[in-house]
Amino acid sequence: MIADAFFKTTNHFFPKLSIWLSSVDDPRNKNKIIYSPSHLLWLGLFLFLLRLGSKRKIKYKLSTQDFLKNLITLTASYDENVAHHDTVEYFLDKLEPMELYKVRHKMTNRLIRMKALDKFRLLDKYFMIAVDGTGHLAFKDRHCPNCLTKQKEEKILYYYHNVLEAKLVTETGLAISVETEFIVNINGASKQDCELAAFYRMAERLKKRFPQLKICLLLDSLYAAGPVMNILKKYKWKYIITFKEGSMPDRYDEFLKLKKLCPQNEIELSNDNAVQKYSWVNDISHKENFFDVIELNEVNADNRTRFVWITNLDVGKNNITKITKGARLRWKIENEGFNVQKNRGFNLEHPYSQNEMAIKNFYLLLQIACIISQLIEKGSLLAKKVQKVFGSATMLFEQLLEDLRTKFIGSSFSNKPIQIRLSSFP
Ligand SMILES: [Zn+2]
């Protein structure tokens, strides 16, 4: 059942995935090639999709006859055996990461074009993209010329690589990687790379890849600054940014004063669990940028929480609760994004290679595998069964591993188009 769902889901959302994988610009000496790029890249994807945990397991778990037949069905290439994990790594050492960026873009673009994600848009219009940085790898000794360094009193404590992610997030818990920027020093620069510098590089690429897409970026308080707003305005993106007093103290004071002057901009809602008081102020200006400010005070049995955001969406009585719901999805990049990728078998912080290029490629394969994984979990073929039958997603993919290595699924798999919808529930 699960292997069938895997084939059908992949085929439904990404019927050309194997073609995209096989058309990457192959860096190897063409005369000596035994395995196709698609064969090797699928093995890289299975490393994450099947939560193998380390690349050695490619050899130990996947070198069965049934797995080979399943892989052949998937790649439509005819190989005599499953490649060794060293061969996969050798290929990833040489492959330009941009090739995998392109594959991921084709995937996310296809999801958007087939309207699979339309129902999750904010105000039925904007795709919500959360941007945040996280730790990727840390080393005791210098690992490459571009490592960032953590220093204390002139002493280097450790070396590390960080990463900035843009993930399309939904209320149902999807966190789909759409763009990545590695936070590492470039060409041995003397000034350390940082999240904001990485954001400027990433924003340019995101705009190029999705020039027409209606986007609302969800950002933390680091981004509540004039230069960021200028970029967001230039690219015609909407944004919701966490607002802390320290980011723009004058604007913050202005908001508090204006709030008192507009008592009509207030709504109170209550349900069984909490009382929510919303207030807002329109049109605060900061160096040629105009934005609205939203405040939400929430009181429940144990807690009293206050949130403040700034946004260039036009806030009013009719949309404030929806906008606030969107704003609160920002933490999904932490939970459904980074935590899942670090702790649920994906091993994001594990150094799958020492080679700088391969490190990036493994990271990108993880992101692609994670997209496929989420579509299987949240797709209508399985969504309800995940909890009932498997208990958790981790067990579901353990079963998928078992099925793919011990049963030939391809023969019973039909290529007939089917309809798969993404669950509307978390
Ligand atoms: Zn390094």
Report the separation in Å between the CA atom of 359 and the middle of ligand 1, taken as the mean of its atom positions.
10
Report the separation in Å between the CA atom of 184 and the middle of ligand 1, taken as the mean of its atom positions.
8
Report the separation in Å between the CA atom of 49 and the middle of ligand 1, taken as the mean of its atom positions.
26
Residues 231 and 204: their CA atoms lie apart, in Å, by 9
Q: Is 12 exposed, middle or buried (0-12, 13-18, 19+ CB in 10 A)?
A: middle
Residues 299 and 285: their CA atoms lie apart, in Å, by 30
Helix residue ranges per DSSP H, 114-221: 195-209
Residues 411 and 134: their CA atoms lie apart, in Å, by 42
75 closest CA partner among 24, 5, 2: 24
Residues sharing a CB contact under 8 Å with residue 188, sequence separation 6 or more, in sequence order = 145, 146
**173 neighbors 344 (Cβ within 8 angstroms):** no
Report the separation in Å between the CA atom of 180 and the middle of ligand 1, taken as the mean of its atom positions.
17
Q: Which residues sit with Cβ closer than 5 angstroms to ligand 1, an ion?
A: 143-144, 147
Q: Is 78 exposed, middle or buried (0-12, 13-18, 19+ CB in 10 A)?
A: exposed
**128 neighbors 218 (Cβ within 8 angstroms):** yes
pLDDT at position 413: 61
Report the separation in Å between the CA atom of 221 and the middle of ligand 1, taken as the mean of its atom positions.
28
Q: Which residue has the tokens 């039909």?
A: 414
Residues 415 and 421: their CA atoms lie apart, in Å, by 17
pLDDT at position 412: 60
Report the separation in Å between the CA atom of 236 and the middle of ligand 1, taken as the mean of its atom positions.
35
Report the separation in Å between the CA atom of 145 and the middle of ligand 1, taken as the mean of its atom positions.
6
Residues 2 and 393: their CA atoms lie apart, in Å, by 11
Tokens of residue 304, six digits: 């009293």
Report the separation in Å between the CA atom of 364 and the middle of ligand 1, taken as the mean of its atom positions.
17
**201 neighbors 152 (Cβ within 8 angstroms):** no
pLDDT at position 125: 98
Beta bridge partners of 132: 165
Report the separation in Å between the CA atom of 152 and the middle of ligand 1, taken as the mean of its atom positions.
19
pLDDT at position 423: 87
Report the separation in Å between the CA atom of 159 and the middle of ligand 1, taken as the mean of its atom positions.
7
Report the separation in Å between the CA atom of 1 and the middle of ligand 1, taken as the mean of its atom positions.
42
Report the separation in Å between the CA atom of 340 and the middle of ligand 1, taken as the mean of its atom positions.
24
Q: What is the pTM of this model?
A: 0.95
Low-confidence ranges of the chain (pLDDT < 50): none
Report the separation in Å between the CA atom of 351 and the middle of ligand 1, taken as the mean of its atom positions.
11
**255 neighbors 293 (Cβ within 8 angstroms):** yes
Beta bridge partners of 276: 269, 298
Residues sharing a CB contact under 8 Å with residue 306, sequence separation 6 or more, in sequence order = 295, 296, 297, 298
Report the separation in Å between the CA atom of 238 and the middle of ligand 1, taken as the mean of its atom positions.
35
Report the separation in Å between the CA atom of 287 and the middle of ligand 1, taken as the mean of its atom positions.
38
Report the separation in Å between the CA atom of 161 and the middle of ligand 1, taken as the mean of its atom positions.
6
